[in-house]
Structure 1
Amino acid sequence: MSVYDLTGRKALVTGGGRGLGASMAEALAAAGAAVAVADIQEDTGKETAGKLRDSGATAAFVPLDVTDDASWESAITATIGELGGLDIVINNAGVEISGLLIDIDSADVRKMLDVNVVGTALGIKHAFRTMKPGGAAGNGGAVVNIASVAATIAFPGIAGYSATKSAVDRLTRVAAQESGKLGYGVRVNCVYPGLVPTVMGMQLAQDMVTLGLYPTVEAAVGAVIDLTPQGRLGEPADMADAVVFLASDAARFITGAGLPVDGGMGM
C-alpha cells in the first residue's frame, strides 16, 4: 500500500469551498480520506462537498467561521458526527488585503490578523483537543497550516499579509514542540505556496497595478515569474499534493517544518 494512501482518515479543510482549499479537499479525497469542507461561505462549501460525493468520496459541508471559538467547537462536533472521527486538519482559510505601508489601514491589518493568525491558532487548538489521547477522536493525527511564500520573501504591497503568514510559520513550530513534549501525537507542519492564479491570486496582481507598483497585471505576474527559478506560476495541484504528503505516513517523522511549494521563489 502506498504511504500516500489516506484511506480511513478523516480530514477537515478550512476555506475548503473554493480556490486552493477546494483543490486540497479534492486531493485528500482522491487519496482516500473522508473530507469535511469547512467554510464561512455556505453555497461554495456545499457545492464543493457535493462534487466530492459525486466523485464517490465521503464528504460533508461544515459551516465554520475560523475566527470564532464557538464556531470551531460546532464544526468539530459536526465533522465527527458526519465522518466518524478526525485525523487531519488543514488550516487553509486566509485573507489577503494589499496596501502600501505609508497608507496602511488598521482595520485591514486586524482582519488579516483575525483570519490568518487567530483562525490558524484556533484550528491548532481544536485539532489538539480533539486528536490527543482522551480527545473526541483521540488517535493523534496531522495538522497542515497554509502559510505563504510571502513569509519568506520581501515583496512590496503585502506587508500586513507577509507579517501574518510569517506568524503562521511560528505558530506551526511552537505547536509542533508542544504536541511532542505533551504527548498529543499530532504532527504540525506548514507549506509556503507561491502565487497561484486563483481568484485571490489574480486579485493580488490587480492590486499591485492599483497601488502603482506595476503598469499592468501581466507585468505584475511577470515579475513573480522572473523571481521563480521554475519559470511559472504555481498550480492548485502543486499545493494540494504537498498537503497530502504532509498529512500522510510518508511524512511520519516530519513535524515543525515549513515546506516551500513556490518553484524556488523563496530560496
Structure 2
Amino acid sequence: MAKRYSTTCAVASTLSIIIGIALVITGSVFVHDMSFLRDSWREIYAISIYSILIGILTIIFSIGLLYVVNRKFPALTIVFSILMLVVVVLTIICLAVLRVGLDNLRRDSYTHTEYLLRNHSTSNTIVDSHSIIGHIQATFGCCDVKKVPDEKNQLLYENPFSSCCVIIVTDFYVNSVVAAHTHTVGFTKDGQVKQDTINVRGFAEPVYYYLRKRYITLMVLDSILIVSLLISAILGLASEYYARQQYEPM
C-alpha cells in the first residue's frame, strides 16, 4: 500500500513540476509582453510576477517531495507535503484575485484608456501616456499604425476610415469622445478637419481582449496546479502514514 501511494505521489509531483515550469514560462512571457502596460494595468503585471514566484516554489517543493518519497524519509515527507499545501493557499489567493480582476477588467480597461487618451491630447508633459498610447497603437494596429510614433503629442493615422479610433464614436459603456491635436490636413471628403475625434472604445477593447486572454490563461494554470499540488500533498502524507504503519510493532 505504501509503495502504491509513493509511486502515485511521484507521478503527481512530476506533473506539478511540469505545471510549475509552464507557470514560470507563461508568467515571464506575460511580464515581458505587458511591460508597456504595467503603469496603468498594474494588477495583471503584478499577478504575472506573483505567478512566477508560485511556479518556482512549486518546482522546488515538488522536486523535494519527489526525492524524499523515493528515499523514504518520513519526517521530510511531512514537511514537503505541508509546504506544498502552503503553495496551494498562495495559488488560491492568486486565483481569487484573477477572478475578481477579470470581472472588473472591461470597465478598468475603458477607464485607464480614456485617462491616457485625455492626457495624450491635452498635455505636452505627460510623456508616459504618449508612450503607452503609442505602444497600444503599434501593438494592436489602432489607426493602422504598425510602429510606435515618435511625435510627443500626436496620434498617427495611416488609414482613418477603417480605423479603430478616429471620427466615428461607438459606445463602450458611455459616449466618450477625446479631442486630439488640431491639424490642417484632414481625412474627410472636403479635406477640412480642424480637430480629430478619437473613439476611446477603439483603443480600450483591443487592450481588454489582450489582457483577458492572459487572465484566463493564468486562471487555468492555477486551477490545474491547485489540483495537482493537493493530490501530491495528500498522497505524500498517505505514503508516509502507511510507511510508518509497516514499522509499528504488531
Greater relative contact order structure (CA < 8 Å, 6+ sep): 2
TM-score (norm 1): 0.21
TM-score (norm 2): 0.23
**Rg larger for:** 2
